[in-house]
Amino acid sequence: MKVLLLYPEFPDTFWSFKHALQFIRKKASMPPLGLLTVAAMLPPTWELRLVDLNVDKLTDDDLAWADCAMISAMVVQREPARRVISRCKLAGLLVVAGGPLFTIEHEQFAEVDHFVLNEAELTLPPFLADLAAGGAQRVYTSAEYPDVRLSPTPLWHLANLKQYATTALQFSRGCPFDCDFCNVTMLLGHRPRVKTTAQVLAELDGLYNLGWRERVFFVDDNFIGNKRVLKEDLLPALIAWRRGKTGMPFNTEVSINLADDAELLQLMSDAGFDTVFVGIETPDDASLAECSKKQNIKRDMVEDVKRIQRAGLEVQGGFIVGFDNDTPAIFRSQIDFIQRSGIATAMVGILQAMPGTRLYERMEREGRLLGSASGDNVENGGNIIPTMSLDALNTGYKALLDHLYAPTQYYARVRTFLREYRPPKITAPLDIAHSMALFRSILHLGILGEERRQYWQLFGWTLFRRPRLFPLAITLAIYGYHFRQVCVLHIT
């Protein structure tokens, strides 16, 4: 069997980092870990070719070569996935689809021959057995969550890693919390399932031996879901693994309660983590209660963020507007919070109801659904009828983004952050690509850009006050440019 592993394009969104990637001449932020994991579960005699449409074109030669296409996607790739499926069907390929988009809404893809849904560790083996016996069913699904200790090492060599800014690795699946807008607990359960430390080290060795020295994103839903295993086992092992090695800083996703645990913060920083994404959502306790984000209620989250920053971890934040409890005052409170906390990468989205979430069920019951969620948060409207008028929500949202990413506010926030941040011990090696990025930033931001004044102020300030953070300051200046482009493209 000759198999094309296909990953449809991401639209030009906040998380695509498309406008920032140009500066380092990379094509996408990270390779598709789901497909690379599935690849490792296929029979060793099968021939595999990965085409990530974010970095490569799907050619007629590819289609003529293959017998089968295996496609993965998340909701935000819905339309590109449809296009790629149609092309594969036209070329006469057997089409197999899996991953979060299809697990949630497979009925909407009539052209797909077989759906292998949920986690492939459980659903792929019966599909492969039935296919070999000549009688594969249309849909394979499972209500169980597999033991991730059975998950194989992803076949990273199938991806052309040079095209990516970061690569991905997964330690755990599942999250102990229960936010009503989130797909994670329905897809992956409440009990964090963790890989063994030996598995993680083998995966890291695999990447290191391929010559990878850039960032590794631990794509866990909540990395600190099982703190005991982290403290007693994984983090000490990562610290030991680092000895004698260079590069490979880590980032991941965590809940805000990381701020309560000084020991964990120290261990994470020593293990090479320098950035965490935290779902902060809103500074308003009533809205947090509305969406069951209990872990964020009754906290001084600005102080929490600063504590994490001081430990050497940059905080990237996810924020949401459009909760039932929100009034037009929310836009100002979000701005104040984000500016005070110094979260440069602040992704503010309008609440969307994804199928399979409790929020979706409630909106359906209340007759408040407006079509399907796009998965792209940075766009007008969302897909629910808000309690605030749609007009007020869209106008307030636009004003909020304009304000947050305007050079004056954005660069002020970067400085607030750099003042607090303890420089990380582990950094990616500074190579020619990074030096070129500096020159391109001077040209595009420092000479041609609307932000040239703020750019040079930050440039000088960092060199004198926080010289070790200079590369990070330039990276954040480039991110700011990306965020502004996305806002201009999406919010008009």
Distance CA 56, CA 329 (A): 45
Exposed/middle/buried for residue 73 (C-beta within 10 Å: 0-12, 13-18, 19+): buried
- 179 touches ligand SF4 by CB under 6 A: yes
- 400 touches ligand B12 by CB under 6 A: no
- 203 touches ligand B12 by CB under 6 A: no
- Binding partner of residue 99 among ligand B12, ligand SF4, none, CB under 5 to 8 Å per kind? ligand B12
CA dihedral 151, 249, 344, 460 (to 10 degrees): -170
- 279 touches ligand SF4 by CB under 6 A: yes
CB of 186 to ligand SF4, least distance (A): 10
Distance CA 484, CA 65 (A): 41
CB of 182 to ligand SF4, least distance (A): 3
- 101 touches ligand B12 by CB under 6 A: yes
CB of 230 to ligand SF4, least distance (A): 16
Q: Please work out the total of residues on this chain that contact ligand B12, with binding judged by CB under 6 A.
A: 46
Contact 188, 222 (CB under 8 A): no
- Binding partner of residue 203 among ligand B12, ligand SF4, none, CB under 5 to 8 Å per kind? none
- 32 touches ligand B12 by CB under 6 A: yes
Nearer to ligand B12 among residue 71 and residue 248 (C-beta)? 71
Structure tokens at 36: 């690379």
CB of 130 to ligand B12, least distance (A): 13
CB of 185 to ligand SF4, least distance (A): 5
Complete DSSP assignment for 300-333: -HHHHHHHHHHTT-EEEEEEEE--TT--THHHHH
- 247 touches ligand SF4 by CB under 6 A: no
- 84 touches ligand B12 by CB under 6 A: no
| List 3, 10, 274, 401, residue binding ligand B12 (CB under 6 A) | 10
- 30 touches ligand B12 by CB under 6 A: yes
Secondary structure string (H, E, C) spanning 178-217: CCCCCCHHHHHCCCCEECCHHHHHHHHHHHHHCCCCCEEE
Complete DSSP assignment for 345-367: SEEEEE----TTSHHHHHHHHTT
| List 58, 155, 184, 486, residue binding ligand B12 (CB under 6 A) | 184
Site for ligand B12 in 358-387 (CB under 6 A): 375-377
**Taking the CA atoms of the chain, what radius of gyration do you get in angstroms?**
22
Contact 391, 220 (CB under 8 A): no
- Binding partner of residue 185 among ligand B12, ligand SF4, none, CB under 5 to 8 Å per kind? ligand SF4
Structure tokens at 92: 């006469």
CB of 409 to ligand B12, least distance (A): 21
Nearer to ligand SF4 among residue 238 and residue 280 (C-beta)? 280
Phi-psi region of 23 (alpha: psi -120 to 50; beta: other; left: phi over 0): alpha
CB of 102 to ligand B12, least distance (A): 8
Distance CA 316, CA 35 (A): 26
- Binding partner of residue 271 among ligand B12, ligand SF4, none, CB under 5 to 8 Å per kind? none
Distance CA 51, CA 60 (A): 12
CB of 491 to ligand B12, least distance (A): 14
> Pairing state of beta strands 94-98 and 166-169?
unpaired
Distance CA 471, CA 431 (A): 12
Nearer to ligand SF4 among residue 118 and residue 255 (C-beta)? 255
One-letter amino acid at 288 equals: L
Distance CA 227, CA 358 (A): 27
Site for ligand SF4 in 119-178 (CB under 6 A): 175, 177-178
- 221 touches ligand B12 by CB under 6 A: yes
CB of 243 to ligand B12, least distance (A): 28
CB of 105 to ligand SF4, least distance (A): 19
CB of 266 to ligand B12, least distance (A): 25
Token pair 């965020």 is found at 483
- 222 touches ligand SF4 by CB under 6 A: yes
CB of 456 to ligand B12, least distance (A): 31
Find the largest Cα–Cα distance for the chain.
69
Which residue stretch of 182-190, 305-313, 414-422, 474-482 sits at the interface with ligand B12 (rule: CB under 6 A)?
Answer: 182-190
- Binding partner of residue 279 among ligand B12, ligand SF4, none, CB under 5 to 8 Å per kind? ligand SF4
Task: Identify the CA nearest to 269 among candidates 309, 303, 229.
Answer: 309
β-pair partners for 252: 218, 276
Token pair 């102020």 is found at 457
Contact 353, 384 (CB under 8 A): yes
| List 3, 9, 34, 302, residue binding ligand B12 (CB under 6 A) | 34
Nearer to ligand SF4 among residue 183 and residue 199 (C-beta)? 183
Task: Identify the CA nearest to 220 among candidates 234, 232, 206.
Answer: 234
One-letter amino acid at 114 equals: H
Site of interaction with ligand SF4 (CB under 6 A): 175, 177-179, 182, 184-185, 221-222, 255, 279
Q: Which residues bind ligand B12 (CB under 6 A)?
A: 10, 13-16, 29-30, 32-35, 37-38, 70-72, 74-76, 96-101, 104, 116, 119-121, 124, 168, 170, 173, 182-184, 187-188, 219, 221, 349, 354, 375-377
